[in-house]
Chain A
């Protein structure tokens, strides 16, 4: 993909005898929100760390903006804002003081950068409260403020809503969406919460036990699910021809030689069955199904599901 901001090629991370990440090919496209979904310990953070060059890659390659991070840190890092695990700050300093340090080290020239970043995440500017007295949610907000401080093109956010209350989660979700839609930022976000990813992401990668099980656009995934008629027939190739010819629909997907999902649920099932039988196709079963994304993820991850 030419517009890939992040592209990994078969990246693998092995710790001792344990493979934390196994041959992952990830493609994050410009201006889109990519949700990396997986259970705790699935390998999401390790993937992000490898992409950022914070941990070494055992094998494979990770490119950011078409370049390998190693050796190009000075060109690449200023274009990225990231939170990996819990954001680390100096406990004896206030949020503003902490951000002022990072802003100055980054060489941020915008005079109100710190104030604006704090405003975005809803934290007070020039507050007297030190970081050590911050709640988990405030710490997380400050981490996000630090990530967006220098107006980066790419944001890599590892579980950014951890520790936030429901209103905080909604706020963070809203400004992440705004950053992508209004400012054209590319965002890679990880989470173990399906609803969070499904509300935010344009593209999704499902990871389980270090393996990327699926990478697709959210629209395609939604299309794969929802309501459909499950048809189990003797010959799906012939059945699909009949559906196209007699019912003028292409809105179906062939799962295997005997299973077909028909997404036009308004069709008369009795008529479909009759038409198939008239063409010598045995209909083993036909039923209306209503799969949620969660059902789908359960299926993809081998029944374990995602919280």
Chain B
């Protein structure tokens, strides 16, 4: 597995997908910052400590980052088939289940890194705007929310990555699926019970963005666990198809 992870990391060198992911995080920050220029009771939103970090994380997690995470994951899986490298890997031999496993682990790691990058941007901006008003406990709480959101959102998105890998229609399709899936979270998030069940919003609950009771937290963890199991089941089907 260590070798496969090394190989997967190597394969991403000079890859445009990394730049797309970084660009999307920057764009989320820029758009939210611009949004923060609006006035509320005579003050700009962005001048309120913590507002920028909260808004960037929530809006990014609904509108942009799920699609980017899905794109990264499905790109890593689909490129082997599209670039015709799969037959060379088969002749090594590399087991598809282990190969996909390594890709998913790396995609999860990249999802966390993407959120960490977004955190660095938002924290730096907040620090530049009002460093003295920031409290270390609040900043650390935001860091926890960002990192957990990264991993939880990956689990929520993983069935889309798996479905796109099975469909073999090209990895760009995952962008559309994930966008629809996460956008629906905007409406589900308004409903008290459903938001702890729907995977995209369940990620908000587990990360600590939503205040939740223990049963609600367990429901959300269970929802994300089911997502992970579902993706593994779908990928197992792909593995069987491939082996036969």
Q: Using a CB–CB distance below 8 Å, which chain A residues touch chain B?
A: 52, 54, 56, 73-74, 77-78, 80, 82, 84-93, 97, 100-102, 104-107, 130, 146
Contacts and interface: CB of A to CB of B under 8 A. Distances in A.
A201 to B, nearest CB: 23
Given A73-B93, A105-B4, A105-B94, A88 B87 contact: yes
Nearest to A88: B84
Contacts of B83: 88-91
Nearest to A131: B83
Contacts of A100: 10
Contacts of B86: 88
B241 to A, nearest CB: 12
A165 B7 CA distance: 33
Given A105-B4, A105-B7, A105-B94, A84 B14 contact: no
Interface of B: 3-4, 6-7, 10-16, 79, 83-94, 244
Given A88-B88, A105-B4, A77 B93 contact: yes
Contacts of B4: 105
Contacts of B84: 85-88
Contacts of A54: 87, 90-91
**Do most interface residues of chain A lie in helix, strand or loop, or is the interface mixed?**
mixed
B102 to A, nearest CB: 11
Given A89-B83, A93-B10, 10 more contacts: A73-B93, A77-B92, A78-B92, A87-B88, A90-B11, A91-B83, A92-B14, A97-B13, A104-B3, A105-B94
Contacts of A97: 10, 13
Contact of B14 (A56, A104, A130): A130
A106 B90 CA distance: 11
B87 to A, nearest CB: 6
B88 A92 contact: no
A56 B243 CA distance: 10
B11 A80 contact: no
18 contacts: A74-B93, A77-B92, A78-B92, A80-B91, A82-B91, A85-B84, A87-B88, A88-B84, A88-B86, A88-B87, A89-B83, A89-B88, A91-B83, A92-B11, A97-B13, A102-B88, A105-B3, A106-B92
A130 B90 CA distance: 23
Given A77-B92, A82-B91, A90-B85, A101 B7 contact: yes
Nearest to B83: A88
Contacts of A91: 83
Given A54-B87, A82-B91, A104 B13 contact: no
Q: For the complex of A and B, list the 4 residue pairs with the smallest distance between their C-beta atoms, beginning with the closest.
A: A88-B84, A88-B85, A73-B93, A92-B14
Contacts of B90: 54
A52 B10 contact: no
A52 B91 contact: yes
A102 B92 contact: yes
Contacts of A85: 84
